[in-house]
């Protein structure tokens, strides 16, 4: 291994949302943070070097991505996802959630219905509600530890509520599903049938476990392509979330015009120069780093699995097909959500994302971020073991 992911790097006092704001977020100061989805690993040297070079240049004026940026994007998606992305249809944004909100605003009006499948990344629900759109939920079904879409309910909810947009999480945070091509075809066809536009959030698409394959939603057919946008970003993959850079593929010309108009309305134009530089360097140089990172994350998953099986058998893991977020079933503890939160976050002092925040179906679960050195995981698991008899 060229990279040492075991190295513990102190993130305290670095403005880290994950480490430095426990009190403000009502958690114990000394809780071990395994919550928000960023990693406790340094990004690759090439990204650091490119940022240092720009920093030494010392001028941070308005900036735009060049052809080299888009070539890097194209090569990455071609190599990793067999996707020949037409970069003339890519619009940069300062984040995927930002782009989701902008698309909802651009394509719907107040009280229009937007569908999501919970449990899902909680800003989906928040974004819909804060924009005064109607939240419609089709619950995923946990079939023996494997989450599935209830297609009958999915379609019925669309019809009953005159849904305008479906917000797809592909791969799905927090339940770890990498939707198969067949599942995506079913979803896409139902959406086409009922004139529902699809926003496909593919921010976790570089973290696919062996035996699974990511399908870019828009590559399935021309009709799907014209009826969707695909939200991508280098930020999860290379731990760049604080640099706020994402690439939104908007192939439909009319939709892209509407999206850009929304950008004009809120006064957003050029992207952050450090984000542009980091994204380009990461996509140009990140292959080996990502390969080693994924191997390390897999070993972390196996470590957690074995530890839980041997020491905390009342908990069970949903086997992840993608993402570095583990969805842990704690229902056999027979606790209310409040009691579970108290037990894990305050008694064990492990700061997790409580399952219920991802929607009703998340009740009784916790989400563990395992993108950290094994030693951190070991300490957290020992703490949890000590409070579960
Ligand atoms: C599914 C999903 N979408 C979007 C985001 C956030 O993306 P951004 O920081 O670009 O808004 C996350 C972060 O955890 C996520 O899990």
CATH number at residue 86: 3.40.640.10
Sequential DSSP letters for 172-183: PTTT-----HHH
| Run of H or E residues at 270 | none
Other CB atoms closer than 10 Å to residue 339's CB: what's the count? 11
Distance 100 CA to ligand 1 centre (A): 10
Examine the fold and report which residue of 231, 257, 285 is the final residue of a domain before the chain moves on: 285
Within-domain flag for 4: no
First-to-final CA distance of the chain: 38
The pLDDT, as a whole number, for residue 13 is 97
Q: For residues 249 and 89, what is the distance between their CA atoms, to the nearest angstrom?
A: 6
Distance 123 CA to ligand 1 centre (A): 8
Taking the model in full, what pTM does it have? Answer: 0.97
Domain count, the chain: 2
Task: Tell me, yes or no, whether 155 and 268 share the same domain.
Answer: yes
Distance 291 CA to ligand 1 centre (A): 21
The pLDDT, as a whole number, for residue 171 is 98
Within-domain flag for 273: yes
Distance 203 CA to ligand 1 centre (A): 6
The reply to whether omega before 119 is within 30° of 0 (cis) is yes
Contact yes or no for 376/32 (Cβ under 8 A): yes
The answer to whether the CB of 201 is under 6 A from ligand 1 is yes
Q: For residues 114 and 167, what is the distance between their CA atoms, to the nearest angstrom?
A: 7
Instruction: From 236, 244, 271, give the residue whose CB has the most ligand 1 atoms within 8 Å, as the site to mutate.
Output: 236
Instruction: From 121, 167, 324, give the residue whose CB has the most ligand 1 atoms within 8 Å, as the site to mutate.
Output: 121
Task: Tell me, yes or no, whether 281 and 291 share the same domain.
Answer: no
Strand bridging mode 228-232 / 325-329: unpaired
Task: Tell me, yes or no, whether 164 and 214 share the same domain.
Answer: yes
Within-domain flag for 304: yes
Sequential DSSP letters for 107-146: H--TT-EEEE-SS--THHHHHHHHTTPEEEE---EEETTE
The pLDDT, as a whole number, for residue 1 is 80
Task: Tell me, yes or no, whether 254 and 310 share the same domain.
Answer: no
**Burial (CB count <10 Å: 0-12, 13-18, 19+), residue 67:** exposed
Task: Tell me, yes or no, whether 101 and 250 share the same domain.
Answer: yes
Q: For residues 94 and 74, what is the distance between their CA atoms, to the nearest angstrom?
A: 19
Task: Tell me, yes or no, whether 111 and 207 share the same domain.
Answer: yes
Examine the fold and report which residue of 285, 305, 337 is the final residue of a domain before the chain moves on: 285
H helix and E strand count, the chain: 13, 15
- CA torsion angle 101 34 117 167 (round to 10): 20
Task: Tell me, yes or no, whether 219 and 337 share the same domain.
Answer: no
Task: Tell me, yes or no, whether 275 and 293 share the same domain.
Answer: no
Which residue's entry shows tokens 């593919």? 202
Instruction: Note down the domain range covering 200.
Output: 59-285
The answer to whether the CB of 325 is under 6 A from ligand 1 is no
The answer to whether the CB of 70 is under 6 A from ligand 1 is no
Task: Tell me, yes or no, whether 143 and 207 share the same domain.
Answer: yes
Task: Tell me, yes or no, whether 261 and 354 share the same domain.
Answer: no
Examine the fold and report which residue of 285, 318, 341 is the final residue of a domain before the chain moves on: 285
Low-confidence ranges of the chain (pLDDT < 70): none
Within-domain flag for 11: no
The answer to whether the CB of 315 is under 6 A from ligand 1 is no
Within-domain flag for 349: yes
Closest atom of ligand 1 to CA, residue 246: 10
Within-domain flag for 90: yes
The answer to whether the CB of 96 is under 6 A from ligand 1 is yes
The pLDDT, as a whole number, for residue 147 is 98
CATH number, position 291: 3.90.1150.10
Within-domain flag for 110: yes
Q: Assign 3-state DSSP to the chain and report helix, strand, coil percentages, each to 5.
A: 45, 15, 40
The answer to whether the CB of 233 is under 6 A from ligand 1 is yes
- Cα separations (Å) of 375 from 39, 372, 379, 384? 14, 8, 6, 14
The answer to whether the CB of 37 is under 6 A from ligand 1 is yes
| Run of H or E residues at 77 | helix 67-81
Task: Tell me, yes or no, whether 181 and 204 share the same domain.
Answer: yes
Instruction: From 34, 123, 128, 371, give the residue whose CB has the most ligand 1 atoms within 8 Å, as the site to mutate.
Output: 123
Distance 172 CA to ligand 1 centre (A): 11
Other CB atoms closer than 10 Å to residue 369's CB: what's the count? 23
Tell me which residue of 229, 196, 270 sits closest to 96, measured CA to CA.
229
Within-domain flag for 28: yes
The pLDDT, as a whole number, for residue 30 is 95
Rg from Cα positions in the chain: 21
Task: Tell me, yes or no, whether 203 and 313 share the same domain.
Answer: no
Contacts of 345-349 spanning 24+ positions with Cβ under 8 A:
345/27, 345/28, 345/31, 346/27, 346/28, 346/31, 347/387, 348/380, 348/383, 348/384, 348/386, 348/387, 349/28, 349/30, 349/31, 349/32, 349/383
Closest atom of ligand 1 to CA, residue 99: 11
């Amino acid at each position: 291994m060229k990279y040492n992911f075991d190295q513990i790097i102190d993130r305290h006092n670095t403005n880290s949302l994950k480490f430095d704001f426990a009190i403000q977020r009502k958690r114990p100061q000394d809780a071990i943070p395994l919550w928000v989805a960023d990693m406790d690993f340094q990004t690759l040297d090439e990204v650091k070097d490119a940022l240092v070079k720009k920093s030494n240049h010392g001028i941070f004026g308005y900036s735009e991505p060049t052809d080299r940026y888009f070539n890097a994007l194209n090569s990455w998606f071609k190599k990793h996802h067999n996707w020949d992305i037409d970069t003339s249809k890519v619009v940069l944004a300062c984040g995927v959630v930002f782009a989701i909100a902008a698309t909802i605003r651009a394509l719907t009006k107040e009280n229009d219905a937007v569908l999501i499948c919970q449990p899902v990344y909680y800003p989906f629900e928040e974004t819909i509600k804060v924009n005064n759109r109607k939240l419609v939920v089709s619950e995923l079904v946990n079939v023996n530890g494997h989450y599935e879409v209830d297609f009958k309910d999915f379609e019925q909810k669309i019809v009953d509520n005159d849904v305008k947009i479906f917000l797809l999480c592909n791969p799905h945070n927090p339940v770890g599903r990498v939707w198969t091509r067949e599942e995506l075809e079913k979803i896409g066809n139902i959406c086409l049938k009922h004139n529902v536009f699809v926003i496909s959030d593919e921010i976790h698409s570089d973290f696919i476990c062996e035996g699974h394959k990511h399908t870019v939603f828009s590559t399935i057919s021309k009709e799907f392509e014209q009826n969707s946008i695909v939200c991508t970003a280098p930020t999860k993959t290379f731990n760049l979330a604080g640099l706020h850079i994402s690439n939104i593929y908007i192939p439909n010309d009319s939709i892209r015009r509407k999206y850009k108009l929304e950008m004009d309305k809120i006064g957003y134009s050029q992207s952050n120069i450090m984000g542009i530089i980091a994204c380009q360097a990461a996509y140009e140089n990140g292959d080996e780093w990502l390969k080693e990172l994924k191997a390390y994350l897999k070993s972390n998953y196996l470590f957690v699995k074995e530890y839980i099986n041997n020491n905390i058998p009342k908990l069970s893991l949903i086997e992840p097909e993608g993402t570095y977020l583990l969805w842990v079933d704690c229902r056999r503890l027979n606790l209310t959500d409040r009691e579970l939160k108290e037990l894990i976050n305050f008694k064990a002092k492990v700061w997790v994302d409580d399952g219920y925040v991802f929607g009703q179906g998340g009740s009784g679960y916790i989400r563990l971020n395992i993108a950290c050195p094994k030693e951190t995981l070991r300490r957290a698991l020992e703490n949890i073991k000590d409070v579960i008899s």
